[in-house]
Amino acid sequence: MNDTTKTLLRIEGLRIENRRTGEAFVRSVNLELRAGEKLAVIGESGAGKSITMRAAAGLLPKCLRATGSIELFGRDILRDPRGAQGLLGTGLCYLTQQGASAFDPLLAVGRQLLDAARKAAPEKTKAEHAAEIRRVLGALRFAPESIETVLAARPAELSGGMLQRAMVAAAMLLKPQIVVADEPTSALDASSTREVVRLLQALVDATGAALVVVTHDLAVAQALARRVVVMRRGEIVETGTRSVLDSPGHPFTQRLVAARRSMTRALLRVLTPESASDAAQANAANTTAGEDVLLSVRGLSKAYPCSNASARRSTSCPNESSELALEARTQTAGFLASLRSRLFGSVRTERASLPVLRCIDLDIRRGEAVALVGASGAGKTTLARLILGLEAADAGEIRYARDMRLPGRISAVFQNTTDALDPRWRAETCVLEALRLSGAALEEPHAKASSLLAAMGLKPEALGRRPHELSGGELQRVAFARAIAAEPAFIVFDEAMSSLDASVRADLIELLIEMRRRPGAPAMLFITHDLAAAAALADRVLFLDGGRIVEALPVGALSRAASPAAKALLADAQEVAGF
């Protein structure tokens, strides 16, 4: 039993600034964490939440300088930065926002989980570690049939949500004294979010570890934390028990809570049968969809090479009703496997094929907004990459309207904006490039880029920053500005709002709704785990499960979902909203 009076982490007068410019990201932060405590750090994107906790873990990038005092397990890690490295793992475990950054890209996931298990319990045998790893992965909703293939896969061969769960699995194996979960559910669907919340609760309850949740999801904060710290512009503006989220005192906290409640009401409204007709009328008023088809997809199928000999080789359209085995196998698809197939496609191989998409049919009309939802690993991002021409399909066809061949007509916002933006370019340059490639004749391109970034809620000083100097949410807003800069006819949003706080998400949703009201509005494909955002933005919702579209419904008819996969997602979304 841990001594709950023992202080594990003490931060006093912390200031974090850019070494090059002297710009401060965190100003005079004081924070204390006791053994067994559950703390949530919330705030808008760029408030300094993640960077404060990265400093506490000794993980600040070299371009930043921290002053003040950070005592971790009684050791001042600002005076002895190397000493912090020895405290990572079984002392403090940091779950990053981007799952890919937590793993060595060249090593199999199973090997890295085994290293974590050995570090926590070196006295156990390899067989005991292997059994524990499989148990933990099973608890994290990895299908039993797919666990072996997941363990053999490299990080890039897993979806974002799967990597997030694998990272939580590593924390459960390490059994640390402090768990810092930085946006642990941002890449997860509602079902996985519910499970990760429960597992983090079980982890800290079983081990007595202190938990720090850095999140923009107020529902997750309320479910996990006993104490809440609210940050804004690098400072703590409010602190207290989790009742702060029920009765906020500071105007900024009130705005965050109001935005969350608005999104929750929007979701519950479309999931309530008696409100279905009202929601349908509201979305019909927002759409400018015409009769002509902008994008037509027919019989689209995709499989990746797979070392699992039991995987099916065929990507043809099946007729069987049971898709449990297929669903398990589709979870191991990834981009690195696709790259290998393109590089070595001429080499004959006996590796089996892993079906990811099976016989997809889809039409999107001009001005229409379509949401594509499904569990992590269902094939949503793979479908987006095929539509965008970033990968080649194994079967089927994709047809665009003839005018879509012009530059700048198709745009996208990806989930991992760290990889989508050139690390050498400043935020303004990223938007200027989109304007240049579109061929738009602008007298003041810099003014246009600045106004777009300002419309996304970025502060003027952020325009000159490079990607590593921006928070995850700020990066996402730069990607939004770049996507709409050329006024495209079709935009693909792949989990584009996953790293945004409630207030910024609400602002961007309003911006997109306003765009849709204008003549010649772009068609949009929203790949999302956020059913509230889908309900607010889309005309139709498509449910993807096991590589197939199992149900398509108008947004006002979600309450009438019939497929088991759609029903499960909607039920989990309601439960998460009610945390």
Kindly tell me if the per-residue pLDDT of 314 is higher than 50.
no
Kindly tell me if the per-residue pLDDT of 378 is higher than 60.
yes
Q: Is there a domain that residue 284 lies in? A: no
Residue predicted with more confidence, 236 or 149:
236
Q: What is the pLDDT of residues 399-452, one digit of tens each?
A: 998 888 777 789 888 877 777 788 888 888 888 888 887 666 566 778 888 888
3 state SS of 213: strand
Q: Is there a domain that residue 68 lies in? A: no
C-beta separation of 254 from 221 below 8 A: no
Q: What is the pLDDT of residues 230-252, one digit of tens each?
A: 998 899 999 988 888 888 889 98
In 3D space, the residue among 549, 537, 167 whose CA is nearest the CA of residue 380 turns out to be 549
Asked which of 247, 266, 284 is the last residue of a domain, the reply is 247
Q: Is there a domain that residue 518 lies in? A: no
* pLDDT number for residue 288: 41
Asked which of 247, 273, 297 is the last residue of a domain, the reply is 247
Residue 429 tokens, joined: 């340059």
Residue predicted with more confidence, 449 or 335:
449
Q: Is there a domain that residue 231 lies in? A: yes
Q: Is there a domain that residue 116 lies in? A: yes
How many separate domains does the chain show? 2
Three-state SS string over 346-398 comes to: CCCCCCEEEEEEEEEEEEEECCCEEEEECCCCCCHHHHHHHHCCCCCCCEEEE
Q: Is there a domain that residue 542 lies in? A: no
Q: Is there a domain that residue 334 lies in? A: no
Q: How many CA atoms lie within 13 A of 128 on its CB side?
A: 8
Residue 549 tokens, joined: 């579209």
* Window from 296-300, 336-340, 567-571 with minimum mean pLDDT: 336-340
Q: Is there a domain that residue 119 lies in? A: yes
In 3D space, the residue among 386, 385, 308, 299 whose CA is nearest the CA of residue 353 turns out to be 308
Residue predicted with more confidence, 501 or 249:
249
**What's the pTM value of the predicted model, to 2 decimals?**
0.70
> What is the share, in percent, of the chain residues with pLDDT greater than 90?
23
Query: Mean pLDDT over residues 190-206, rounded?
Result: 77
Dihedral pair phi/psi, residue 576, rounded to 5°: -65, -40
Question: H or E stretch including 211?
Answer: strand 210-214
Please state the separation of Cα 93 from the chain's center in Å: 20
Query: Mean pLDDT over residues 306-312, rounded?
Result: 45
Asked which of 468, 486, 504 is the last residue of a domain, the reply is 486
**What is the span of the domain harbouring residue 203?**
37-50+88-247
Q: What is the pLDDT of residues 11-63, one digit of tens each?
A: 999 999 988 888 899 999 999 999 889 999 998 877 889 899 999 988 888 88
Query: Parallel, antiparallel, or unpaired: how do β-strands 75-76 and 64-72 relate?
Result: antiparallel
Question: H or E stretch including 159?
Answer: none
208: exposed, middle or buried (Cβ count in 10 Å: 0-12, 13-18, 19+): middle
Q: Residues near 11 by Cβ (< 8 Å), separated by ≥ 6?
A: 29, 30, 31, 32, 52, 56, 68, 69, 70, 71
